[in-house]
Chain A
Amino acid sequence: MAKITAEKIMDEKSIRLALNRICHEIIERNGGSEDLVIIGIRTGGAFLAERIAGILAQIGKSEVPVGIIDITLYRDDIQDKLDQPLVQKTEIPFDIGDKIIVLVDDVLYTGRTVRAALDAIIDFGRPRAIQLAVLVDRGLRELPIKADFTGREVTTSPRERVEVHLKENVGFDDVIIDRSGRGGV
């Protein structure tokens, strides 16, 4: 009998509901969407940031600016990597000074990506606050970092792999835990 190595923990509907709830929480926490800007971490976080901004615009009846941040140049493992990640463009075409930034990523794991993103954002100016929204929090943090808005919390081991599939990337929405032992995000 084949061993089941992958488990679907979110589907298209639960992702949609989770993002809707996150948006309502963002509005509640900040008393509206005024002064909000959304910044997604490439690549998965960038798609989710677009979706969140879309929902916020519907709820709050006003546009929320969206930016994309590439954290490659801020990684703490850049010198150790054998295959160099491609440096992509960061696109923050607005002033972040005194704004409330909602930083968006697909999976929160060690916290190192978020640490790098925080450093990158600070190089663009001094926001009033930075809040963190993630679709999946899989635990196993290596830094003192915590999400403000979470779609789904799951308990995982480092040997497991969490895969977020999004329509913008692969044509469908779901989140899978792969237990075949390869590890990674």
Chain B
Amino acid sequence: MSLKIRHLLGLEGVSADDIALILDTAVSFKEVLSRTIPKVPTLRGVTVVNLFYEPSTRTRISFELAEKRLSADTINFSTSGSSVAKGESLKDTVWNIEAMKIDIVVIRHQAAGSPHYLAECCSSTIINAGDGAHEHPTQGLLDMYTIREKYGKIEGLKVVIIGDIKHSRVARSNIWGLLTMGADVSVCGPPTLLPVEMEKFGVKVFDDLDEALMGADVVNVLRIQKERQQGGLLPSLREYNRFYGITRERLKNLNENFTIMHPGPMNRGVEISSEVAEAPYSVILPQVTNGVAVRMAILYLLSARRGKVDEG
């Protein structure tokens, strides 16, 4: 059993078999995390570089923990205080790090497509930890893991993603992954924050929240990314909250045993109320816990392909 993909650049085009293998393997790693000594020697001798060109708390800590729990050696790199500040290009930075014999690069970058570029010009295994407004595949996988953990399946569930779909890499990775795994996916947000022609991918599009939530099983609430808002798309946060904020009153038409998710960090009182965020039906902290297990599964599965010569 091995993955077909050699890098994890996005969930677009990743097969259902590969996604299922990652989610199945993550179940075993979640058990590892519950042990007295939550660490296994599997990736001894493997060196992972965490290259973060954008701020991150959750994802960076989660990757670093996953690497350490697998006994890999980790190097953290952030742009402040590095030679990036002196004008070094992304390619040169990675070539120089690679010259010191590393195996896996985890990259977060503000430019969409930078992990794909690295995968072409470097020999290391590349894992995308978020590229601009494009994809955030490990978040998509941990969201699917959390859904599957609760319902035992993904196929046939109605999942609604709410918020700024246009600028959200979390939304894009969720949409690709969930569609591949057979979920019924809808998106909902202000028309100015919905990409045009979304329906072509097989996604239902709503601008009315109550309509979108009718009969849904899972509601994935996105963060309003103030840093990605160009002027004019969103009149005010107060108005957004009034039309699209998730409060208890909005949840009455959901299916029984519904679930609220949020990729964090939350803007309480904007896209989600504190009451909903802390209710028993919300799995926001379990998502974070599962993130470590899912990233361990990805690192383990991709590392096994390192020595393999590509066919052809």
Question: Interface code A53-64, partner B: CB below 8 Å = 1, 0 otherwise?
Answer: 000000000000
Q: Does B145 contact A (CB under 8 A)?
A: no
B260: interface (CB < 8 Å): no
**A108 nearest CB across to chain B (Å):** 22
Across the two chains, which residue of chain B brings its CB closest to A78? B42
Listed stretches A44-52, A82-90, A129-137, A165-173; interface member: A82-90
Let me know if B32 is at the binding interface, CB within 8 A.
yes
Could you tell me if A73 and B2 are in contact, using CB atoms closer than 8 angstroms? no
By the criterion CB–CB under 8 Å, are A81 and B28 in contact?
no
A142 at the interface (CB under 8 A from B): no
User: How far is the CB of B62 from the nearest CB of chain A, in Å?
Assistant: 19
Query: Would you call B28 and A88 a contact (CB within 8 A)?
Result: yes
Instruction: Decide: A90 and B42 in contact? CB cutoff 8 A.
Output: no
B304 contact from A81, A119, A124, Cβ within 8 A: A81
| B135, chain A: closest CB distance, angstroms | 25
Complex Cα distance, B240 from A1, in Å, reads: 84
The one of A74, A82, A83 that contacts B40, using a Cβ cutoff of 8 Å? A74
Chain B residues within an 8 Å CB radius of A123: 35-37, 39-40
Complex CA–CA separation, A86 to B300 (angstroms) = 11
B45 at the interface (CB under 8 A from A): yes
Q: Does more than half of chain A's interface fall in helix, strand or loop, or is it mixed?
A: loop
Q: Is A106 an interface residue (CB 8 A)?
A: no
What residues of chain B lie closer than 8 Å to A125, measured between beta carbons?
36
Q: Point out the residues of chain A lying under 8 angstroms from B39, CB to CB.
A: 123
B47 at the interface (CB under 8 A from A): no
A83 touching B36, Cβ below 8 Å: no
User: Is A155 interfacial (CB-CB < 8 Å)?
Assistant: no
- Taking a contact as CB atoms under 8 Å apart, the answer to whether A124 and B36 are in contact is yes
CB distance from B190 to the nearest CB of A (A): 43
Q: Which of B46, B303, B304 has the most CB of A within 10 A?
A: B304
Enumerate A92-147 residues with CB–CB distance to B below 8 Å.
119-120, 122-125
Q: By the criterion CB–CB under 8 Å, are A85 and B1 in contact?
A: yes
Tell me the minimal C-beta distance from B45 to chain A in angstroms.
7
**Cα distance A126–B308 when bound, in Å?**
38
Q: Interface readout for B5-26 with A: 1 if CB under 8 Å, 0 if not?
A: 0000000000000000100110
User: Are A87's CB and B300's CB within 8 A?
Assistant: yes
In the bound complex, how far is the Cα of B305 from the Cα of A97, in angstroms? 37
Shortest Cβ-Cβ A-B pairs, 5 listed: A73-B40, A123-B37, A84-B304, A87-B28, A73-B42
- Name 21 interchain pairs, CB-CB below 8 A, sorted by A: A70-B28, A73-B40, A74-B40, A78-B304, A79-B45, A79-B304, A82-B2, A86-B21, A87-B25, A87-B29, A87-B297, A87-B300, A88-B28, A89-B28, A90-B28, A90-B31, A91-B31, A119-B41, A122-B37, A123-B39, A123-B40
